[in-house]
Amino acid sequence: MEAGYREELLAALRLQLEWGVDEALEEAPIDRFAVRAPQPLAMPQPDAPPVLATPAVKAAARSLLPMVPPPAAAAAALAAAAQDLAGLKAAIAEVDSPLRDTATNLVFSDGVAESGLMMVGEAPGADEDRLGKPFVGVSGQLLDRMLASIGLNRAENFYLTNILPWRPPGNRTPTDGEITLFLPFLMRHIEMVRPRHLVLLGGVSAKALLRAKDGITRLRGRWHQVETPAGTLPGLATLHPAYLLRTPSAKREAWSDLLLLRRTLNGDAAPQ
Ligand code: URA
């Protein structure tokens, strides 16, 4: 054996030991670098029976594929493994999403988690992305003023998060794929916080949590039943504050939703 070739083989052996190989499975070594003789192309035989995609054939084909979970399944497993809010935030940061590459900060939540009232918006905008907190831009300031008028403020008696934790570039509407990817984290978030009431701010939040096809103008103004891992929770759908900034005449409806929220929190209206 040539000295150079022997050195290469010894180096390969050392590498295997470093990688933790401690057992030989075959009596004789197999040279995996040996060039495989080209295989003749299998030509279909005219009288050979066609291979039908029967369930058994499909199952066999599936078993040959590498067992890589689809992104949403991997995200759901990550969310389920998180044990507390800090762990959930860290798990979200691990999700491989193009949104993570374009955003600056992960926006997780703000407010009092134990308050019993959890509001869910759509996605961070530019200000939220810069500061890493939900609803801190102009629409957030409007939301704060509206909620203050019914005695709610985030330092004391409500909690806030979004459907998406990262800002979509240019504030575009979240795609269905993005919502599906991050919904397991929101569900786990709700499971940890265990609110008594949810408020769904805007169409994206309402549609995602109610799995509804209707738009927000049909969904708003009433309590819905939201299926969550913490059980079925009452969720009030209302208009998004950014929409109210663009359409001030809609503030009338938003005000009526807020009064319904206040009456329900006071125990003067049933949340159904
Ligand atoms: N709009 C949202 O839906 N969420 C925010 O955090 C800010 C603006």
Q: What is the pLDDT of residue 261?
A: 98
Measured from the CA of 122, which atom of ligand 1 is nearest? 3
Cα of 73 from ligand 1 centre, angstroms: 26
Cα of 205 from ligand 1 centre, angstroms: 10
Q: Give the integer Cα–Cα distance in Å for 174 and 172.
A: 6
Environment class of residue 269 by beta-carbon count within 10 Å: exposed (0-12), middle (13-18) or buried (19+)? middle
Residue 29, classed as helix, strand or coil, is coil
Q: Give the integer Cα–Cα distance in Å for 18 and 14.
A: 6
| Full 3-state SS string of 83-119 | CCHHHHHHHHHHCCCHHHHHCCCCCCCEECHHHCEEE
pTM tops 0.85, yes or no? no
Q: What is the pLDDT of residue 19?
A: 55
Which tokens is 133 given?
């907190």
Per-residue model confidence as pLDDT tens for the chain (272 residues): 677 777 777 766 665 555 555 556 566 766 656 655 555 545 555 565 655 667 776 666 566 555 556 688 889 999 999 999 999 999 999 999 999 999 999 999 999 999 999 999 999 999 999 999 999 999 999 999 999 999 999 999 999 999 999 999 999 999 999 999 999 999 999 999 999 999 999 999 999 999 999 999 999 999 999 999 999 999 999 999 999 999 999 999 999 999 999 999 999 887 76
Cα of 246 from ligand 1 centre, angstroms: 15
Q: Does CATH place domain 71-266 in 3.40.470.10?
A: yes
Cα of 40 from ligand 1 centre, angstroms: 60
Measured from the CA of 139, which atom of ligand 1 is nearest? 8
DSSP letter (8 states) at residue 47:
T
Cα of 201 from ligand 1 centre, angstroms: 9
Cα of 206 from ligand 1 centre, angstroms: 14
**What distance, in Å, lies between the first and last C-alpha atoms of the chain?**
84
Q: Which of 108, 122, 245 to mutate to test the pocket of ligand 1 (most atoms within 8 A of CB)?
A: 122
Q: Which of 106, 120, 128 to mutate to test the pocket of ligand 1 (most atoms within 8 A of CB)?
A: 128
Q: Which of 104, 162, 182, 205 to mutate to test the pocket of ligand 1 (most atoms within 8 A of CB)?
A: 162
Measured from the CA of 127, which atom of ligand 1 is nearest? 7
**Phi and psi angles of residue 112, each rounded to the nearest 5 degrees, phi first:** -105, 110
Residue 57, classed as helix, strand or coil, is helix
Contact yes or no for 226/233 (Cβ under 8 A): yes
Cα of 267 from ligand 1 centre, angstroms: 28
Environment class of residue 234 by beta-carbon count within 10 Å: exposed (0-12), middle (13-18) or buried (19+)? middle
Q: What is the pLDDT of residue 6?
A: 74
- Ligand 1, CB within 6 Å, residue ranges: 121-125, 128, 134-135, 137, 139-140, 162, 242
**Phi and psi angles of residue 41, each rounded to the nearest 5 degrees, phi first:** -70, 135
Cα of 227 from ligand 1 centre, angstroms: 23
Structural domain boundaries in the chain: 71-266
Measured from the CA of 160, which atom of ligand 1 is nearest? 6
For residue 227, is it left (φ>0), alpha (ψ between -120 and 50) or beta? beta
